[in-house]
Amino acid sequence: MGHATQTYKRSLSGSLGAGMGSLFGNSGKQYYILEHKMNSKYHRSGESQEIIVDQIELGRDARCQVRFDESFQTVSRRHAAIVRDGDRWKLVQLSSTNPTFLNGKPVKTEWFLQSGDDIQLSAGGPRVGFIVPTGNKATVGSIGLSRRLSLFRQQALKPYKTAMTVLTIVLFLVIAGAVTWGWYSHDEYTKLVASFDENSKFSQRERDSLANELIKLNEKNDAYVQQMDSLKTKVKTLSTRTGTGSGGGTRPGTGTQTGTGTTAAAVGEISGCNPFVYAVFLEKIEVSYQGESMTIDGHSSIAGTGFLLSDGRFITARHVVETWYYYEYVYDDSYYVLNMYACNGGKVTAYYTAISSSGKQFSFSTDNIKCDRSTDEMRIQEVGSGVSVILKKAVLDNTDWASYRINGDGLPYDGALSENLPQGSELEILGFPNGMGTEDRNHITPMYYTCKVARQGLDSNGNIITSNDDTTPGNSGGPVFFKSGDSYKVVGIVSGMSGGSYSKGRFVPISSIK
């Protein structure tokens, strides 16, 4: 049984592009449902999957949107595909060893599907029903926003998870200058991405070609995939929530104000500063788009560090609280999607709780913070299926700060000094690296670090650069102190790392806060 039409080839436009269309494009787009008729590790009998992309694959491979476990030995890794062809869908045979049955008859190449058809992968293998909804449930627009986002991640991102991981990691490594890692030397891959430029606007054909090449490399070299998994762990440790990397742009810091409030932190040991240093926890993220809304549970996870100044302002790093504008520096595709919602007529609001060692705590959201978005870069991104979206990317310069006024006592600070710190002078840092010190929210205790100023004054991005830095994810947004005699004054905010190795600290001078 066969009926040849346009040859099927997995592409970004059919998966990622079509997924984008379902999120941001025509809400009148039609979709279909696969109804599982057998229990398996990944699906239960009677389960329904709404399919919102133009092409999916069924099989045992981890990249298949409809995946079956290893107990189905006669199901191939990539067994079959369901692909949009004009206004219809067709079933495509992919396996060269195991058959696919449509209503009990083998499919030799491909065949158009009709609502109610029964699909079976190999004799005695798993069966699914193909259903096209009708009436007011016939279009993607009938699926709620939260569900559409979940389906997008499962169906549009999954086939290219490794490829997108590679692209994300490469971009991160290029920006951070971390290609010096000894084992990171896969020749074919290096040649493939050597000309990658973060400002390039790839055509759809180029994006498809790049993704296909990456997939071929991964399929050819299982050991390489394992290396990428190892690299993923390392990058996540280094980059999550810290905004590591070096940003472009030139914007020197300004301002000479000096905080004059009298606090317990003005004299004595640095432990006197602890009560004014806060652990910042993400509670939830709310997204609204075209009249629909959804809530993402933050599970009270540690987002970073913040602190109070003597003038009553609470300070943290902007990338701690508006992470979606730093989507290229944070290893999580969710922030890429949140950026698109925020920049294309939707609204994204994150809610946080800040807790100090004194037991004092307060809540705030991104709706009531103050920050500097003036250097954000706007891009028009073509994502396929006739859909283009706007993206805004924050630059890693001295705009990486956010403030929220709560009033009360806080830490003294020196804006003029922050712009002209002597080379070699020691700086001291308090924060919560990898959540350490926050295990018991009733007993918050910031960790202590030191580093030294690498150059007098600020770099071309208006930042303080240090020659060594032991901070890790969780320190971001924390206070950087300069000690004169017995007095501690805040001179900077932990932003991330930069330079040719991961030992160069990058701090936003306190004078940059407006």
DSSP calls for 460-513: TTS-EEES-----TT-TT-EEEEEETTEEEEEEEEEEEESSSTTEEEEEEGGG-
β-pairing verdict for 292-308 and 277-289 = antiparallel
Higher-confidence residue of 164 and 408: namely: 408
Instruction: Give the lowest-confidence range in 33-37, 142-146, 156-160.
Output: 156-160
What is the model's pLDDT at position 136?
Answer: 82
**β-strands 464-466, 447-452 pairing:** unpaired
Q: What are phi and psi of 361, to 5 degrees?
A: -150, 155
> Residue 132: is its pLDDT beyond 80?
yes
The winner for highest mean pLDDT among 235-249, 259-273, 320-334, 408-422 is 408-422
* Range with lowest mean pLDDT among 71-75, 287-291, 325-329: 287-291
Q: How confident is the model at residue 350 (pLDDT cuts 50, 70, 90)?
A: very high
Residue 177 pLDDT greater than 90, yes or no: no
CA distance 163 to 349: 29
**pLDDT of the residue at 508:** 97
- The whole-chain average pLDDT of the chain stands at 78
Q: What is residue 332's predicted lDDT score, i.e. its pLDDT?
A: 65
Closest CA to 398 of 502, 495, 259: 495
370 near 404, Cβ under 8 Å? yes
In angstroms, rounded to a whole number, what is the distance separating the alpha carbons of residues 49 and 16? Answer: 18
Indicate the DSSP class of residue 414.
Answer: B
Rg value, the chain, Cα: 26
**What is the DSSP-derived secondary structure letter of residue 79?**
-
pTM: 0.62
Residue with more model confidence, 469 or 506: 506
Q: How far is CA 307 from the centre of its chain?
A: 25
Rounded Cα distance between 433 and 321, Å, is 16
Convert 345-369 to b/e letters by CB count within 10 Å (16 or more is b): ebebebbbbbbbbeeeeeebbbeeb
Superfamily of domain 240-512: Trypsin-like serine proteases (2.40.10.10)
Kindly state the DSSP code that residue 421 receives in the 8-state scheme. Answer: P
Owner of token pair 């859909």: 387
- Report the length, in residues, of the chain: 514
Rounded distance between C-alpha atoms, residue 105 and residue 1, angstroms: 7
pLDDT for res 384: 56
Work out the average pLDDT over 451-467: 93
Phi-psi region of 102 (alpha: psi -120 to 50; beta: other; left: phi over 0): beta
Is the pLDDT higher at 256 or at 94? 94
At residue 297, the pLDDT reads: 84
CB atoms within 10 A of CB 115: 13
* Residue 215 to residue 418: CA distance in whole angstroms: 48
What's the pLDDT score for residue 47? 94
CATH number of 13-157: 2.60.200.20
Return the pLDDT at 386: 60
Phi then psi dihedrals of residue 67, to 5 deg: -110, 145
Query: In this predicted model, what pLDDT tens digit does every residue of 190-228 receive, in sequence order?
Result: 444 443 333 334 444 544 554 455 445 444 444 444 444
- When pLDDT is cut at 50, 70 and 90, the band that residue 99 belongs to is very high
Least confident of 29-33, 197-201, 450-454, 476-480: 197-201
- Return the C-alpha torsion angle 121, 127, 133, 134, nearest 10: 100
What is the average per-residue pLDDT within 118-134? 95
pLDDT in tens, 362-384: 999 999 999 999 999 998 877 65
Own/partner pairs, 120-123, CB within 8 angstroms, 24+ separation: 121/58, 121/59, 121/68, 121/72, 121/74, 121/75, 121/76, 121/79, 121/80, 122/72, 122/74, 122/75, 122/79, 122/98, 123/74, 123/99
Number of Cα atoms under 13 Å in the Cβ half of residue 136: 0
What's the pLDDT at 16?
67
Q: Give the model's pLDDT for residue 239.
A: 36
Q: Please give the pLDDT value at position 380.
A: 84
pLDDT score for 373:
94
Lowest-confidence region among 164-173, 240-249, 337-346, 411-420: 240-249
Q: Report whether 99 contacts 123 (CB < 8 A).
A: yes
C-alpha torsion sign, points 467, 472, 477, 482: negative
